[in-house]
Amino acid sequence: MLTLIVAATFITVFVVVVGLYYFGTAARREVKMRISRYVAKPPAPAAPRPEQAAAPAMGAWRSLVRQLSRYFESFQWSRWLEHRLMQAGLPLRGSEFLVICTGSALVGMLTLFILARGRPIFAVIGAIIGYLVPLLVLRVKVERRTKAFNDQLGDALILIANSLRTGYSFLQSIEMVSREMLPPIATEFARVLREMNLGVTTEEALNNLAKRVDSDDLDLVVTAVLIQRQVGGNLAEVLENIAGTIRSRIKIKGEIKTLTAQGRISGVIIGLLPVALGLVIYALNPGYMQILFTHPLGRALVAGAIVSQLIGVLLIRRIVNIDV
């Protein structure tokens, strides 16, 4: 009798624990199932394409970068780099990008160290230049992607406004933009759509979009949409007005770029002419230029010339860059 009571008690407790665990993890299983729809691997192609020939080599390099990136994960700067990499649309982590910067610095250091015949100062300069090159490339990619996004934003707003007028919901309008338009705006809106399908609120998804894309025009759009969702109103008309404003800004920026073309070319010439002239003179008469790098007064003059060149280029850049 005691055995039956113990067995019944054990079975009852077991059933209750299993039931509580099942109902307690129902939400987690639902989220996991919804995420698996987006992270599932696509089916393998029937035949390899030509551009996939270098995939094993790239995979080996990526694996090496990932292994080395573990030593840079504790760096605070990697978080800022991850945000910039997200804005550039590069599928890299901040620690992985730091590995690339370090490798570029080593290559620059060895290159200038060999070319300068073992002078340590040139090795330091080469390391600094090599470390800054990936950062400059990242900045250029962010600026180009942001410009491409801004150029497409006006058409995307018109498409959303027309979709709303035909009876589509805001979610369906975003899906149409992700399906009908080209990257990068199609990629970003598709990500917004995936976040909303995974349970993220519309406000949070739009705020994440504004963080990923460094665009003043997009900030204006997100602010207008969030206000409309709180106070109501005709969203299609609001988006059309914003699209007209964005197109006017793009037109004004184009006119300013045309009017300031002469100043920008002057800045390029001022920056490159002394360097090109020095290289030509050094090629014609090396002894004439060598005194600038051997005599203390010559080194001081070279340092002053470099500082003056940088100041002049920055001033011209500040003059020709007009915010609209």
User: Would you say 173 and 163 are in contact if contact means Cβ atoms under 8 Å apart?
Assistant: yes
Is 290 found in the same domain as 271? yes
Is 236 found in the same domain as 274? no
Residue 55 lies in a domain: no
The count of structural domains within the chain is 2
Is 231 found in the same domain as 201? yes
Distance, in Å, from the CA atom of 280 to the CA atom of 268, rounded to the nearest integer, reads: 18
Q: CATH number of the domain at 234, please.
A: 1.20.81
User: For position 16, what pLDDT does the model report?
Assistant: 52
Is 160 found in the same domain as 243? yes
Residue 234 lies in a domain: yes
Rg of the chain over all Cα atoms, to the nearest angstrom:
29
User: For position 307, what pLDDT does the model report?
Assistant: 87
Greatest Cα pair distance in the chain: 111
User: Containing domain of residue 220, as a range?
Assistant: 147-248
Residue 151 lies in a domain: yes
Last residue of a domain, one of 248, 275, 307: 248
Question: Where are the alpha helices (H) located in 116-184, listed in sequence order?
Answer: 120-165, 170-180
Distance, in Å, from the CA atom of 181 to the CA atom of 160, rounded to the nearest integer, reads: 11
Is 286 found in the same domain as 235? no
Mean pLDDT by 10 residues, the chain (324 residues): 49 53 58 56 46 50 62 64 81 79 85 76 82 88 87 87 86 86 87 86 86 84 85 83 84 82 80 83 81 82 85 80 69
Last residue of a domain, one of 219, 248, 277: 248
Residue 114 lies in a domain: no
Is 209 found in the same domain as 177? yes
User: For position 65, what pLDDT does the model report?
Assistant: 63
Closest listed residue to residue 198, CA positions, set 36, 24, 42, 41: 36
Last residue of a domain, one of 228, 248, 268: 248
CA atoms within 13 A on the CB side of 35: 7
